[in-house]
């Protein structure tokens, strides 16, 4: 019986602790009825007796010196002799508060129980680890300065009564204040009203004087100039205040802000550029056209081009029917995993382009994924959808002086689709049980009718050697003596053409062709075919002889027509527009790392969108994010991170961090990557997933070294700051070399849960090597 009671007390320990306050208020029966209505009567009696025993007063001296880890102090409390260290004193404080500041049997047993003491030590150690891996988070949205916003306008002000009417520069102009800068102390009185002429704010021909009162006079050590601080006079009418507010808002991105505000804005822009330039994600601009979503262009960098096997990755998103199905799924779930590849069936080869949810609904997930990974010639893209806010588009126009009238495709931009190739993270998968391969529906196959997705790159990646112009002119292509095809000129240069054929070519498009473009004064000019795309019906041509003189003369005679259509300028505008949207809507959490002597101090800050789930099953609170679940070594007493050290030293480039969340008690269980992939615990997870007892949480941790100190827009970001403070501009420019790595956290739980639930098992590296050697011996 004693053993049974011990088991009962251990099992219902939490309930006993919850019933103690009820006993203190003489409401133990009420508590028992509330918490233990379905408990057997004998167990209920044992719980009641234990609660009464723990709440009984005692006079036994408390002593934890036998297992104390800190110096022990002698003192009296509740009139009782005690010998406790600081951990024991903390236990006394917390436990006695639970028992309403009374010295009971429960308090005594907590103080003299070594296991309870060690549990408190572990809690403190765990808190130290959590605090060590806690990092400040930053939103990807622009900093909102609100009413504190102040710009440094590029004009001077003057007042006849202030400083003898001399012109003064304005380093800060806000909605309610103004600062005037002078080399010497101005002759002015504090509290006096002065009227300054601000001609830039008012329409031409209107009164330009605004009343300000002098608040104080200070000396700025950084600029070595005197600053007179003015406050907008109360008598200024609302119309003038509205004009002042409109002027500041319209020029906030074209003129520098006040020095301190401009530094904050420049730092945020530089850091956001940092994680975009090193990101493995490619952004595709999606436009709304006649109620239909259409991909138009894709933003490529050196990094994301390398991680996605070049521009050929766009083939997975060019099929019209496939893209429509993908965007429909993204609109619901906000993320998708797209599989592309070729599988062999009894009816021949089938080109697959389908998401994992489409395969699951068709009961083809297991056989298709098995066949795709078996061949190894497949790609899996992790896709996420982000909106294209109107505010972000307006900022892109203002920041880069883009005329929206010249780029109609920018105004119709509705979304950004981000994708990254994660094929290497899946690897070959083996079957644990036989499965049937059903017919593959047409919706799961590649659509030959494709969208034309334009590639957008930085100037450093551009291979263009001549000035090209984007035009839309009809052309005629003579392919033989008696046959010709109609086409449309997409862009043209002195020595080349890019055409879209009105209909697919019946024969091979190669050799020499004669092209006529009447509106561009090109008549029967001989061109050689460089490349022809069968899916998009686009052909690139190179002039066979000298450049057509009539076309060159046309360009010189019509600069107003051709200059705005310069392909390089248009491409630069597209690059900067998509870049500005990407830095605000980057799809995954990004950690910036800097140089430091201490490992944990290298984690500087974490950028993530407000709706991001990449930290799940952990979460941020008050702009503070815990990262111990991803980086901290398990079972250590002190904050250590073998994973972070390996990532920053380049020993590994990526890994998966796996947790299982038990739904019964919301407890997290960490699972080592090798155990999750190859050990029997994978089968247990599979069984628990089927029974809906656990939730699988898989987070991909991927690192990228900052090989370049500057991004394509670094000097652009600092251009406004250089107008305010040249020395600070140079310091921030040199500071860019301090950023060493960017670590990306991506939640891949949806795909991994589907793979585990399908009972597909990863093939270990050793088995793959053994199978390869056996095949070599057989041959």
Q: How far is it, in rounded angstroms, from Cα 224 to Cα 423?
A: 58
For the question of whether the overall pTM of this predicted structure is more than 0.85, the answer is no
Strands, E assignment, 35-105: 62-63, 73-77, 80-84
CA-to-CA distance for 330 and 383, rounded, in angstroms?
8
In degrees and rounded to multiples of 5, residue 387 shows phi and psi of -75, 165
Retrieve residue 649's tokens: 């030293």
Task: List the single range of 6-20, 255-269, 755-769 with lowest mean pLDDT.
Answer: 755-769
Element (H or E) spanning 248, and its range?
helix 238-250
Locate 433 and state its tokens. 């049980």
Q: Are 539 and 553 in contact (CB under 8 A)?
A: no
- Alpha-carbon span 67 to 78, nearest angstrom: 23
Within 10 angstroms of residue 611's Cβ, the number of other Cβ atoms is: 7
| Cα→Cα distances 563→553, 554, 707, Å | 14, 12, 36
* pLDDT-wise least confident of 192-206, 251-265, 322-336, 482-496: 192-206
d(CA 468, CA 485): 23
The C-alpha atoms of residue 405 and residue 564 are separated, in whole angstroms, by 11
Name residue, tokens 């956001």. Answer: 272
Q: Which residues of 469-496 are buried (b: 16+ CB within 10 A; e: fewer)?
A: bbbeeebebbbeeeeebebbbbbbbbbb
Q: How many CB atoms lie within 10 A of CB 773?
A: 10
| Percent share of the chain, pLDDT over 90 | 34
Quote the pLDDT of residue 777.
Answer: 41
Cis amide leading into 617 (omega within 30): yes
In a 3-state reduction of DSSP, which class is residue 356? helix
Q: Could you tell me the pLDDT band of residue 464, with boundaries at 50, 70 and 90? A: low
What are the structural domains, with CATH classification, of the chain?
A: 1-55 (no CATH), 56-119 (no CATH), 150-251 (2.40.10.220), 280-456 (no CATH), 468-565 (2.40.10.220), 589-747 (no CATH)
pLDDT band at 648; cut points 50, 70, 90: very high
Q: Indicate the average pLDDT of the chain.
A: 87
* Helix, strand or coil, per DSSP, at residue 537: coil
Q: What is the mean pLDDT of residues 737-762?
A: 93
> Tokens 């406790």 appear where?
84
pLDDT tier, 116 (very low <50, low <70, confident <90, very high otherwise)? confident
Residues 282-320 pLDDT 10s = 999 999 888 889 999 999 998 999 999 888 899 999 999
- In this structure, the dihedral spanned by the alpha carbons of residues 521, 525, 531 and 536, taken in order and rounded to 10 degrees, is 50
Structure tokens given for 601: 């101090």
SS3 73: strand
> Is pLDDT above 80 for 3?
no
pLDDT in tens, 756-777: 999 999 888 665 444 434 433 4
**pLDDT value at 573 more than 60:** yes
**For 408-461, how does the pLDDT look when each residue is reduced to its tens digit (9 = 90+)?**
788 899 999 999 999 988 878 888 888 888 888 888 999 988 888 988 887 665
pLDDT given at position 207: 60
Q: Give the single-character DSSP code of 215.
A: E
Which helix (H) or strand (E) element contains residue 383? strand 378-387
β-strands 624-626, 668-671: how paired?
A: unpaired
The residue-averaged pLDDT of 560-579 equals: 86
Running DSSP on this structure, what letter comes out for residue 600?
Answer: G
Residue 605 scores a pLDDT above 90: yes
Mean pLDDT check: name the lowest of 130-139, 253-262, 502-511, 646-655. 502-511
**What pLDDT is attached to residue 547?**
84
The mean per-residue pLDDT over the stretch 500-522 comes to 83
For residue 599, name the pLDDT band (cuts at 50, 70, 90). Answer: very high
Residue 1 scores a pLDDT above 60: no
Which one, of 613, 616, 590, lies nearest residue 603 by Cα? Answer: 590
């Amino acid at each position: 019986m004693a053993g049974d009671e011990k088991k009962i007390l251990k099992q219902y320990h939490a309930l006993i602790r919850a019933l103690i306050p009820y006993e203190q208020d003489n409401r133990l029966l009420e508590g028992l009825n509330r918490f233990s209505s379905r408990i057997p009567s004998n167990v209920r009696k044992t719980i009641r007796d234990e609660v009464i025993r723990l709440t009984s007063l005692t006079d036994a001296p408390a002593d934890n010196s036998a297992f104390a880890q800190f110096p022990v102090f002698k003192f009296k409390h509740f009139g009782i002799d005690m010998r406790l260290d600081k951990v024991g004193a903390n236990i006394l404080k917390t436990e006695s508060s639970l028992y309403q500041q009374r010295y009971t049997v429960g308090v005594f047993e907590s103080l003299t129980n070594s296991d309870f003491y060690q549990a408190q030590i572990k809690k403190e150690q765990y808190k130290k680890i959590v605090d060590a891996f806690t990092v400040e988070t930053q939103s990807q949205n622009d900093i909102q300065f609100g009413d504190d916003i102040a710009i440094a306008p590029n004009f001077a002000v003057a007042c006849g009564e202030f400083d003898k009417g001399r012109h003064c520069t304005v380093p800060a102009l806000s909605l309610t204040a103004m600062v005037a800068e002078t080399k010497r102390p101005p002759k002015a009185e504090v509290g006096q009203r002065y009227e300054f002429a601000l001609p830039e704010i008012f329409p031409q021909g209107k009164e330009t004087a605004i009343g300000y009162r002098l608040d104080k006079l200070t000396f700025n050590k950084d600029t070595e100039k005197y600053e007179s601080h003015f406050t907008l006079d109360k008598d200024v009418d609302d119309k003038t205040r509205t004009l002042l507010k409109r002027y500041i808002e319209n020029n906030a991105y074209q003129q520098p802000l006040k020095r301190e505000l401009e530094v904050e804005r420049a730092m945020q822009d530089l850091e956001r550029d940092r994680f975009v330039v090193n990101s493995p994600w490619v952004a595709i601009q999606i436009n709304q056209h006649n109620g239909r979503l259409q991909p138009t262009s894709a933003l490529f960098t050196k990094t994301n081009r390398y991680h996605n096997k070049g521009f050929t990755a766009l083939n997975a998103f060019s099929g019209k029917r496939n893209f429509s199905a993908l965007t429909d799924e993204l609109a619901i779930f906000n993320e998708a995993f797209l599989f592309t590849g070729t599988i062999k069936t009894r009816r021949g080869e089938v080109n697959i382009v389908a998401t994992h949810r489409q395969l699951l609904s068709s009961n083809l997930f297991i056989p298709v994924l098995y066949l795709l990974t078996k061949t190894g010639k497949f790609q899996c893209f992790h896709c996420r959808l982000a909106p294209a806010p109107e505010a972000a588009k307006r900022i892109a126009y203002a920041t880069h002086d883009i005329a929206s009238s010249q780029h109609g495709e920018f105004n119709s931009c509705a979304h950004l689709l981000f994708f990254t190739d994660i094929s290497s993270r899946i690897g070959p998968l083996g079957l644990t049980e036989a499965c049937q391969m059903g017919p593959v529906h047409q919706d799961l196959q590649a659509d030959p009718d494709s969208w034309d997705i334009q590639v957008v790159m930085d100037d450093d990646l551009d291979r263009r050697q001549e000035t090209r112009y984007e035009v839309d002119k009809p052309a005629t292509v003579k392919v033989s003596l008696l046959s010709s095809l109609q086409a449309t000129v997409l862009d043209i240069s002195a020595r080349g053409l890019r055409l879209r054929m009105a209909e697919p070519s019946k024969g091979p498009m190669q050799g020499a062709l004669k092209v006529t473009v009447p509106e561009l004064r090109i008549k029967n000019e001989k061109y050689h075919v460089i490349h022809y795309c069968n899916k998009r019906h686009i052909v690139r041509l190179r002039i066979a002889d000298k450049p057509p003189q009539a076309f060159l003369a046309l360009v010189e005679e019509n600069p107003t027509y051709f200059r705005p259509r310069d392909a390089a300028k248009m491409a630069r505008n597209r690059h900067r527009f998509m870049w500005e949207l990407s830095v605000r809507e980057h799809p995954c959490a990004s950690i910036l790392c800097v140089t430091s002597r201490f490992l944990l101090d290298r984690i500087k800050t974490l950028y993530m969108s407000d709706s991001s789930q990449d930290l799940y099953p952990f979460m941020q609170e008050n702009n503070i994010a815990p990262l111990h679940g991803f980086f901290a070594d398990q079972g250590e007493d002190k904050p250590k991170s073998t994973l972070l050290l390996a990532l920053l030293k380049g020993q590994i480039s990526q890994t998966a961090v796996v947790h299982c969340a038990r739904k019964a008690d919301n407890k997290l269980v960490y699972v080592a990557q090798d155990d999750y992939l190859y050990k029997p615990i994978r089968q247990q997870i599979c069984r628990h997933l089927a029974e809906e007892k656990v939730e699988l949480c898989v987070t991909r941790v991927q690192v990228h070294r900052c090989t370049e100190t500057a991004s394509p827009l670094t000097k652009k970001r600092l251009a406004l700051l250089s107008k305010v403070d040249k020395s600070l501009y140079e310091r921030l420019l040199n500071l860019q070399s301090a950023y060493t790595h960017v670590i990306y956290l991506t939640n891949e739980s949806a795909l991994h849960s589907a793979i585990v639930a399908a009972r597909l098992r990863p093939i270990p590296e050793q088995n793959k090597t053994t199978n390869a050697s056996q095949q070599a011996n057989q041959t």
